[in-house]
Chains A and B, each alone.
Chain A
């Protein structure tokens, strides 16, 4: 079974719950002995997808307006981006559209985009209709789910869908690094002659 490292970056306004989503995803199978990270800004989780292991390297970005110019440093080389908005804040959905636009224009080619409408547990205060968001996501061929990090709704689903949308292992695929877990013993003398 091969291990693939998939860099996933999180984009979205501050306060929409980007890091909560990751924490929920990572901690659902929390094992302190496995690769603990020093903080919630960067987290990893390995899941099995078909006959591959997908190790998600999840890069959180700062959502404040002022830090927005720094985002390209974070999303470069990403295999996927999860753009998060808060269903109770319409403004965060507008920001999301800007992020998608920027990713489409300047992000890595073939980047998988997932849209997460977070805080769906607060549907009383909803400002963004699920249908509107879904239509928008469809129009840009993005993954779409409404999530609740608080109630653990649809969290794993986002990552499963990302796994499905990631192209099969291909050496020229940017942002995806294939790692061979086993290596054959090499014939030393042959090795020498080949150079």
Chain B
């Protein structure tokens, strides 16, 4: 009963949490996998069948704690309705129609689509998106892990909503250590380039682990889902793409997919690590707020707050928060892709019509292969090939938590300062991002100056400077950007709302969305993404938005661009070459069918925060294309209305150019300094370094002047092209 009494408090916590994080990055305090499993098992309770309709649901939800919800069929429209109690005081229940489009379901007010209802619901328990608050799930649901189908299925919505409904306590199974010997894939480690891979803990037991330092693999508190998960995996279609054909199986399958990916996460809090002096925030908070977990913890007798918190993945929101819609659907692709150093590897599911059947035929085999692949990756990691990133990230994380450490102090000051800018309206979001970028560069320099980091770097042998930059940058994002990105989004969005640019973007999106590829100046022969591909792209965009690291965002952008290329070439005659003439219109076509507002924010974020050294490469190219395409949409207007707007947009563009050139120089300057320092043999070199600085700043001035010129050119160019555009439009309307 204690457990049930806690419930209202808990949902209160959740609500306030999501209020603090308006971007929807609410923090789940429950193990996502248990939540998913529980929700799946009692779907009959929250998604009751035909006798239940809107009226019935409203009656049942009336006065329930905020976030209580039911999904029922709407007799009038045949659509499903998500009915949510939004205010228990005012006894208010709101309806959110769920729209079924092809193979996807989404709330009619949201752009986020899910392949089944379960994923939709679980997403909204973790992120409110368009809802006034997150959905709330009774805590006992997380306990439904030991196949209590026979117990739960008969439970109806009444039991679901009624806090006093007693669930037999034997469904609340604490951790069952007997499954330990079948545990698999429990650790993610961050490898070079931010890749993630999974390690079988048995492997660690066998072969040791220098980077995890001390203790052996310990009994896992949360490992109860494992035997079940493993079994279900064996019958589940492994990672399937968005274009699944067999809808009848999709609920079971996709939940299993989700389950399996999340399963490895849920173990994280109890990783085989030493607890020395580190507090696992997530686990400790859930031990307070989640009675179920507390019971488990007590029964095993290992106080959760002592769990370690030193591995990078423990805090990684992406992985802690599987409900990110696309990471639900594609997490394995992400991992496997990024196992390689290239962010643009072949994906396992380019052809939706082929892959499901293939995979279904031999799911276990494929899984085995993947585990094997991971193990080989682990082998590399142990051999030191994959571990530098991990070692750096871990060290940076440690340094950031150490009191009195210069880096930690600088970092803390930076985070606090940035969070404070919320109230200062005079600071524009670009200025803020600009400061964030220069702080990141400065923090990176601080890291280079630290002995601890130097030791690691020196032990790596020959690593090109730009790779070191990337690795440190990555480690830095985790400690510096992760606590900030929600806040940054919010500020950016507010600023862009205030200056009206988002509204313009949306209005023009509306105007242009009806245009065909040819009308967008696309060239003949290039195809556009079909519905399934478009859906997949939407999921990628959503995942991209979830990333706090600009590098990771760019990696996802590259995946989207690759998808677009795939669609362009799929029906093309062999040998056709598609360059920017074909790509940019196609990208524009896709953007017009995407959430341009969120994309604009993400683009700003990447443009401002990406490590300058990455701006010239492939990521920089496609980021520029994304920016250009959004700019094309937002500036598409009749001439009179545009002249001023265009001036503003062009100004921001040239300012951006100036800024980034400056940063590039800054970074180049510091690289020079570093290089020189390493070769330094005496005072003379110091002087050289001064000279370099001077010349770099001279160049910066030159670029600044040049940027001003660019504005004018842009201005005149845009105007001239716009005149033509307008003529064209007039011609059309006369027709």
| A residues at B contact (CB < 8 Å) | 5, 7, 10, 14-15, 18-20, 22-23, 35-42, 44, 57, 59-74, 76-77, 102, 105-106, 108-109, 171-172, 174, 177, 179-186, 188, 190-192, 194-195
Inter-subunit contact A172/B695 (CB<8 Å)? yes
* Complex interface: chain B residues within 8 A of A105 (CB): 709, 713
| B96 in contact (CB, < 8 A) | no
Inter-subunit contact B464/A179 (CB<8 Å)? yes
Shortest CB-to-CB span from A129 to chain B, Å, is: 26
* Complex interface: chain B residues within 8 A of A192 (CB): 449, 451
Name A66's contact: one of B342, B615, B692, B721 (CB within 8 Å). Answer: B721
Closest to A109 in B: B702
Inter-subunit contact A188/B451 (CB<8 Å)? yes
| 8 A-B pairs closest in CB distance | A19-B579, A60-B580, A42-B621, A69-B718, A70-B628, A62-B584, A39-B565, A38-B562
Segment of B173-181, B255-263, B328-336, B676-684 engaged in the interface with chain A: B676-684
* Complex interface: chain A residues within 8 A of B584 (CB): 41, 62, 67, 70
* Complex interface: chain B residues within 8 A of A14 (CB): 523, 581
Inter-subunit contact B618/A180 (CB<8 Å)? no
Name B449's contact: one of A37, A181, A185, A195 (CB within 8 Å). Answer: A195
A-B CB contacts (within 8 Å), total count = 176
Segment of B107-115, B455-463, B501-509 engaged in the interface with chain A: B455-463
Interface string of B604-632 (1 = CB under 8 A from A): 00000000010111100110110110011
Closest to B568 in A: A39
* Complex interface: chain A residues within 8 A of B675 (CB): 180, 183
Inter-subunit contact B565/A38 (CB<8 Å)? yes
Given contacts A66-B632, A172-B699, 10 further A-B contacts (CB under 8 A): A39-B565, A40-B579, A60-B579, A61-B580, A62-B584, A74-B628, A106-B706, A183-B464, A183-B465, A186-B678
* Complex interface: chain B residues within 8 A of A60 (CB): 579-581
A-facing residues in B629-671 (Cβ within 8 Å):
631-632, 653, 657, 661, 664, 668
Inter-subunit contact B558/A38 (CB<8 Å)? yes
Q: Provide the bound-state CA to CA distance between A194 and B673, in Å.
A: 11
Q: Provide the bound-state CA to CA distance between A180 and B454, in Å.
A: 18
* Complex interface: chain A residues within 8 A of B653 (CB): 72-73
Inter-subunit contact A5/B628 (CB<8 Å)? no
A-facing residues in B701-731 (Cβ within 8 Å):
702-703, 706, 709-710, 713-714, 717-718, 721, 724-725
Inter-subunit contact A68/B577 (CB<8 Å)? no
What are 20 A-to-B residue pairs whose CB atoms are below 8 Å?
A: A18-B579, A22-B579, A38-B562, A40-B579, A41-B583, A63-B580, A64-B585, A68-B717, A69-B721, A72-B653, A74-B628, A105-B713, A171-B696, A174-B703, A177-B613, A177-B616, A180-B464, A183-B464, A183-B465, A190-B680
Q: Provide the bound-state CA to CA distance between A192 and B455, in Å.
A: 11
Inter-subunit contact B618/A38 (CB<8 Å)? yes
Contacts A5-B616, A41-B625, A177-B668; A183 near B462 (Cβ below 8 A): yes
Q: Provide the bound-state CA to CA distance between A171 and B583, in Å.
A: 34
Inter-subunit contact B581/A63 (CB<8 Å)? yes
Inter-subunit contact B677/A188 (CB<8 Å)? no
Inter-subunit contact A181/B462 (CB<8 Å)? yes
Inter-subunit contact B672/A171 (CB<8 Å)? yes
Among B465, B618, B675, B725, the most chain A Cβ lie within 10 Å of the Cβ of B618
* Complex interface: chain A residues within 8 A of B618 (CB): 37-38, 42, 44
* Complex interface: chain A residues within 8 A of B661 (CB): 76-77
Closest to A191 in B: B454
Q: Is the interface of A mostly helix, strand, loop or mixed?
A: mixed
Inter-subunit contact A180/B465 (CB<8 Å)? yes
| B residues at A contact (CB < 8 Å) | 342, 344, 449, 451, 454-455, 457-458, 462-466, 521, 523, 558, 561-562, 565, 568, 577-581, 583-585, 613, 615-618, 621-622, 624-625, 627-628, 631-632, 653, 657, 661, 664, 668, 672, 675, 677-680, 692, 695-696, 698-699, 702-703, 706, 709-710, 713-714, 717-718, 721, 724-725
Q: Provide the bound-state CA to CA distance between A15 and B524, in Å.
A: 11
Inter-subunit contact B721/A68 (CB<8 Å)? yes
Inter-subunit contact B451/A77 (CB<8 Å)? no
Shortest CB-to-CB span from B584 to chain A, Å, is: 4
Inter-subunit contact B713/A184 (CB<8 Å)? no
Q: Provide the bound-state CA to CA distance between A5 and B695, in Å.
A: 20
Contacts A64-B521, A77-B661, A171-B692; A188 near B458 (Cβ below 8 A): yes
* Complex interface: chain B residues within 8 A of A109 (CB): 702, 706
Name A194's contact: one of B613, B631, B680, B692 (CB within 8 Å). Answer: B680
Q: Provide the bound-state CA to CA distance between A66 and B729, in Å.
A: 13
Name A191's contact: one of B451, B628, B717 (CB within 8 Å). Answer: B451
Among B616, B627, B653, the most chain A Cβ lie within 10 Å of the Cβ of B616
Inter-subunit contact B680/A179 (CB<8 Å)? no
Closest to A64 in B: B521
Inter-subunit contact B624/A19 (CB<8 Å)? no
Inter-subunit contact A194/B621 (CB<8 Å)? no
Contacts A177-B668, A184-B678; A106 near B581 (Cβ below 8 A): no
Q: Provide the bound-state CA to CA distance between A65 and B521, in Å.
A: 9
Closest to A190 in B: B680
Shortest CB-to-CB span from B206 to chain A, Å, is: 32
Q: Provide the bound-state CA to CA distance between A74 and B581, in Å.
A: 13
Shortest CB-to-CB span from A13 to chain B, Å, is: 9
Q: Provide the bound-state CA to CA distance between A105 and B712, in Å.
A: 11
Name A57's contact: one of B449, B455, B617, B679 (CB within 8 Å). Answer: B617
* Complex interface: chain A residues within 8 A of B565 (CB): 38-39
* Complex interface: chain B residues within 8 A of A184 (CB): 678-679
Name A76's contact: one of B455, B523, B657 (CB within 8 Å). Answer: B657
Inter-subunit contact B458/A64 (CB<8 Å)? no
Closest to B717 in A: A69
Q: Provide the bound-state CA to CA distance between A108 and B710, in Å.
A: 10
Inter-subunit contact B521/A41 (CB<8 Å)? no
* Complex interface: chain B residues within 8 A of A7 (CB): 616
Inter-subunit contact B631/A70 (CB<8 Å)? yes
Shortest CB-to-CB span from B471 to chain A, Å, is: 13
Contacts A191-B454, A192-B451, A194-B680; A171 near B668 (Cβ below 8 A): yes
Closest to B625 in A: A41
* Complex interface: chain B residues within 8 A of A195 (CB): 449
* Complex interface: chain A residues within 8 A of B464 (CB): 179-181, 183
Q: Provide the bound-state CA to CA distance between A192 and B458, in Å.
A: 14
Inter-subunit contact A72/B710 (CB<8 Å)? yes
